[in-house]
Structure 1
Amino acid sequence: MKVIGIRGFLVGFAPRPALGNAATFIRRREVLLVQLVGEDGTTGWGEAFNAPAAAAALIRTRMAPLVLGQQADAMGRVYNAMLGTLGYDRRGAGMMAISAIDMALHDLAARARGISVARMLGGALRDRMLAYASGPFIAEGPDPYGAYPAQVDALLSRGFRAIKPRVGVAPRADGDVMRAMRRQVGPDTALMVDINQGYTVGAALASLRHMEEADLLWVEEPLQPEDLGGYQAVAAAARCAIAGGEALASLAGFRDFLVARTFSVLQPDMAVCGGFTGFRRILALADAFDVPAMPHVFGSLVNAHAALQMGALIGARRGGGPAPYPFIEVDVTPNPLLTLLGPVEPGADGCIAVPDAPGLGFELAPERLAPFVTDHWEITP
């Protein structure tokens, strides 16, 4: 099936309250959703994260001619053609644009065959994945962690068996809140933390020391994403796994961090690193270094469904916690772009089902996006 149209939807909303992490307070969340249209009317969805407006400009000016008229299942040829447009931009908006197109091509090709993306790519290894709650988030005001106990109780009542709060207010405060959280959840719930690139090496090491008693499964992004030497120092001193990779895009970037033995858990984001094709290349590299990988997810239902399909293809690894890796990240903040088709909740086993419906496993009419659209465009031959 040939691609005869590309539609772009810049969508966003203002979270209430603002979502705090160690680096900033998020007051506006935006993503680019791309819909490819096949010649029989079948469509496929993709997503670009972090730099959506720039990714949209690159799709419209550079990549659309490489996609229109191509067969949907020519993902490899299109991917390599798009890589050829990047020039110097191999870790930024260019890769995010490629991510959206590649994801949408996979969705479209699988829908055209009436099968899931996971089945198209060789067959799912699992039909359920352990869900971990991405939250709570730091609050503005004098008590940034004050609401965590009640929020964690709510997450436990929803069935989550793994929770990843944001920390990074100060090393001693991090230790206090995480030791208390460990007492609250007991020994069987996995706890991880995300520092969102907020610390220097010294502060990160101090925070890790204060949090040791919390028995963390991993500490995520304690430093700026390309601080290779800093990550080496932290990884060498840490008594738990160091996780990261969501802000890396190029295969070479992941290679450098793996060679340096910085990450014990790799977290490429499919809306950043090149969609299914990019993630699978990185996964092969991670396998060569015996490092488990799983998708980072913090956007709309499109990337969340893509991550489930990709997660179903990843071999099981015993990294600790209540189940083998890979886990699936679930944004537990009020996010209407994630819950457009209904809430995302784990089952009684703490897991989320991998859809077996065609493509990414959902049906989304563009009209559902209308309340969130700030820009919309369409390109045809």
Structure 2
Amino acid sequence: MGTIAAIRGHHVGFAPATALGNAAGFIRRRDFLLLEIEADDGTIGWGEVGASPWAAAALIRHGFARQVIGQPAAAHGRIFEALLAQRGYDQRGVSMMAISAIDMALHDVAARRQGVSVAALRGGALRNRVPAYASGPFMLEGPDPYAGFPRDIDAYLRRGFRAIKPRAGAGPAADGAMAEALRRQVGPDVALMVDFNRGVTARAGLASAQLMAPAGLLWIEEPTVPEDLPGYRMVAQTSPIGIAGGEALGSLAAFRELLETGAVSVVQPDLSVCGGYSGYARVAALCAAWDLPVMPHVFGTLVNFHASLQAAALTPSRRGGAAMPYPFLECDVSGNPLLTMLGEVPLDADGMVRLPEGPGAGFDLRAEQLSPWLVESWSVAA
């Protein structure tokens, strides 16, 4: 039957060539934990933590690993429940991030051992390709944060993207002008969304939304911090644009509370935060009860990207106002070498990403390939 023999953690990171600006600030360093789980037959699976990699690693090394090593390689469901029971007071934070990486890697191991994709392991893909959107451009430092947008947008269009999500939040007037300029640039057939990255107050987000409405946006993302549920409700009641959110939420209860506001039109769980494939499936079921579209948020390495592609292939379609039905798949276009180390994300003629044919999450990664970005590695074995 096979059992889990070892867990290895690889801390990787890099400094973007240009700081990635959003309404919350500038990202000058990106760090991740890539979790490698090995079965006793040598099969490897991969998981990821992006939000709190060092804290999650400590939990895994000194706690959760004992619940995983020696367990059957196919027992990802049972292990997920056992780990949830070990969270203690930390029901929504770092514990869920650690569990997310473990669950991702265990699914990858189990599927590879069977020679099937994770989508097949979880019941079968509903589609073999998913519409992709460019997650960018990002704001620049200086007096005109949107100065680079026209150049970047042209590059995304040449690459084949049919949907684009720039960052916003410089101020209502600037946001409105930026959105209308982008609509003129891309024409009527490219989907546009904007992301505030939790960096403005609810009222500022609402003021920007009202001025951006003529651009025909699909959604505004995270118009305020996720804890401000009254703010979400206030924006939704008066905004002409739908709201997306959920990437920062770790527990099913947190998603329930968000949905109860009636504020969100698109729900975006991140597999590296909400509990991996198992947690995503629970959130998707909750969204189905509310008849809301759900799609993975992903802004990390190739590990979470490929896991999110598998999850998107398992997600039922919903019409959300775009030419193509949801779910969409977020694609980091900021120049992320940990996403593209095995090659650029390929788009087909329709701006879609095809589901890989290989087993597991569909990529072949070896730990030694991480060496250009490696900070530290560790291992826990039986």
Q: If the TM-score is normalised by the length of the shorter chain, which range does it land in?
A: over 0.9
Deviation at 1:339? 0.4
Deviation at 1:30? 0.8
Q: Which residue does the alignment assign to 1:377? A: 378
- How far, CA to CA, are the matches of 1:107 and 1:141 in structure 2? 44
Deviation at 1:322? 2.3
- How far, CA to CA, are the matches of 2:370 and 2:249 in structure 1? 28
Q: Which residue does the alignment assign to 1:367? A: 368
* CA displacement 1:206-239 (0-9 Å, x = unmatched): 1011101110000000101111100000111111
Q: Which residue does the alignment assign to 1:233? A: 234
Q: Find the residue that maps to 1:50 and give its secondary structure.
A: coil
Q: Find the residue that maps to 2:337 and give its secondary structure.
A: coil
Q: Which residue does the alignment assign to 2:264? A: 263
What one-letter code is carried by the residue in structure 1 that aligns with 2:280?
Answer: F
Q: Which residue does the alignment assign to 1:351? A: 352
Q: Find the residue that maps to 2:330 and give its secondary structure.
A: strand
- How far, CA to CA, are the matches of 2:63 and 2:128 in structure 1? 38
Q: Is 1:63–2:60 an aligned residue pair?
A: no
TM-score (norm 2): 0.99
Q: Is 1:78–2:93 an aligned residue pair?
A: no
Q: Is 1:213–2:224 an aligned residue pair?
A: no
* CA displacement 1:157-191 (0-9 Å, x = unmatched): 11000000000011110000100100111111000
287-296 or 76-85, which moves further after superposition?
A: 76-85
Q: Find the residue that maps to 2:108 and give its secondary structure.
A: helix
Deviation at 1:16? 1.1
What one-letter code is carried by the residue in structure 1 that aligns with 2:130?
Answer: M
Q: How does 1:1-381 map to 2 (within 5 A)?
A: 1-381=2-382
- How far, CA to CA, are the matches of 1:216 and 1:345 in structure 2? 25
* CA displacement 1:253-305 (0-9 Å, x = unmatched): 00011111121100000000000000001100000001110000000000000
- How far, CA to CA, are the matches of 1:353 and 1:341 in structure 2? 16
- How far, CA to CA, are the matches of 2:85 and 2:374 in structure 1? 30
Q: Find the residue that maps to 2:303 and give its secondary structure.
A: helix
* CA displacement 1:286-329 (0-9 Å, x = unmatched): 00001110000000000000001000001111011120000100
Deviation at 1:75? 1.1
Deviation at 1:92? 1.1
List gaps (5 residues or longer) in structure 2: none
Deviation at 1:345? 3.1
CA-atom RMSD in angstroms: 0.7
Contact 2:206 2:223 in 1 (8 A): no
Contact 1:115 1:359 in 2 (8 A): yes
Deviation at 1:11? 0.6
Task: Give the paired residue count.
Answer: 381
Deviation at 1:199? 1.1
Contact 1:117 1:358 in 2 (8 A): yes
Q: Find the residue that maps to 1:247 and give its secondary structure.
A: coil
* CA displacement 1:3-40 (0-9 Å, x = unmatched): 00000001100001000000010000011100100111
Q: Find the residue that maps to 1:293 and give its secondary structure.
A: coil
Q: Find the residue that maps to 1:323 and give its secondary structure.
A: coil
338-347 or 301-310, which moves further after superposition?
A: 338-347
Deviation at 1:136? 0.2
What one-letter code is carried by the residue in structure 2 that aligns with 1:297?
Answer: V
Contact 1:135 1:165 in 2 (8 A): yes
- How far, CA to CA, are the matches of 1:24 and 1:73 in structure 2? 42
Deviation at 1:348? 1.1
- How far, CA to CA, are the matches of 1:136 and 1:206 in structure 2? 21
Deviation at 1:48? 1.1
List gaps (5 residues or longer) in structure 1: none
- How far, CA to CA, are the matches of 1:206 and 1:215 in structure 2? 16
What one-letter code is carried by the residue in structure 2 that aligns with 1:207?
Answer: S
What one-letter code is carried by the residue in structure 2 that aligns with 1:354?
Answer: L
Contact 1:241 1:263 in 2 (8 A): yes
Contact 1:131 1:329 in 2 (8 A): yes
What one-letter code is carried by the residue in structure 1 that aligns with 2:198?
Answer: Q
Contact 2:172 2:211 in 1 (8 A): yes
What one-letter code is carried by the residue in structure 1 that aligns with 2:121?
Answer: M
What one-letter code is carried by the residue in structure 1 that aligns with 2:196?
Answer: I
What one-letter code is carried by the residue in structure 2 that aligns with 1:203?
Answer: A
- How far, CA to CA, are the matches of 1:321 and 1:72 in structure 2? 41
Percent of residue pairs identical? 58
Contact 1:161 1:322 in 2 (8 A): no
What one-letter code is carried by the residue in structure 2 that aligns with 1:136?
Answer: P
Contact 1:158 1:345 in 2 (8 A): no
- How far, CA to CA, are the matches of 1:119 and 1:240 in structure 2? 36
Contact 1:297 1:330 in 2 (8 A): yes
Q: Find the residue that maps to 2:270 and give its secondary structure.
A: coil
* CA displacement 1:62-96 (0-9 Å, x = unmatched): 10000000112111111111111111111211100
